[in-house]
Amino acid sequence: MTSTDGSSSRGPYAKGVQRRQEILDQTLEVVASRGIDGTSLRAIGEAIGVSHAALRHYFSSREALLVEVLRERDEASNRALGDTAGVFTRLEFVAHRNVVEPALVTLYTTLLGTSVEPGNETARSYFAGRFATARAELAGQLRDELTASGRHSDADLDQVASLIIAAFDGLQVQWLLDRDVDIAGTLRLLERVL
């Protein structure tokens, strides 16, 4: 039997894909309960009932596994967003999704911080690519919104996109330290300022 994406829904390949997905789903639960420091590849395997060798079959390192968890969550957010219009409406949606998963925000923030250190090339590559894509998409969306509204801006929209990303990530860090910080509300203020 073949699924709509062309992959077989039976056999070892499908089971491997399913097992890999289970590992990704359960890894965030381990991060939530044990914290980042308690999530060695071996500890993750023990917590979710998978051997270290099996984890290494799917992921070359702890860093690769954790980055893949983030990549998977990005894809899930993009699917959930669908064709939601408006830069700040989309950001507000993501902010609301993130605050119900503090472990995800902690994982993102921690990996982002360590990605600038030597030896963390997987995370560095992921974040560099993620930021480049986000800047380009945000700038394009801002241009489209300005054009659609008949407005014009002399601001460099690539720099505005960088500012929005920096605000979003910085607000998430503040929220991790103080749950009274309103990420979505502050982004709405940024929208008015811009």
SS3 call for 162? helix
Q: Which residues of 45-70 are buried (b: 16+ CB within 10 A; e: fewer)?
A: bebbebeeeebeebbeebbbbbbbbb
SS3 content of the chain, % helix, strand, coil (to 5): 75, 0, 20
The amino acid present at 32, given as its one-letter code, is: A
Q: pLDDT digits over 110-139, tens only?
A: 999 999 999 999 999 999 999 999 999 999
Enumerate the β-bridge partners of residue 8.
2
Q: What is the pTM of this model?
A: 0.85
Q: pLDDT digits over 81-93, tens only?
A: 888 888 999 999 9
Measured CA to CA, the distance from residue 109 to residue 122 in angstroms comes to 15
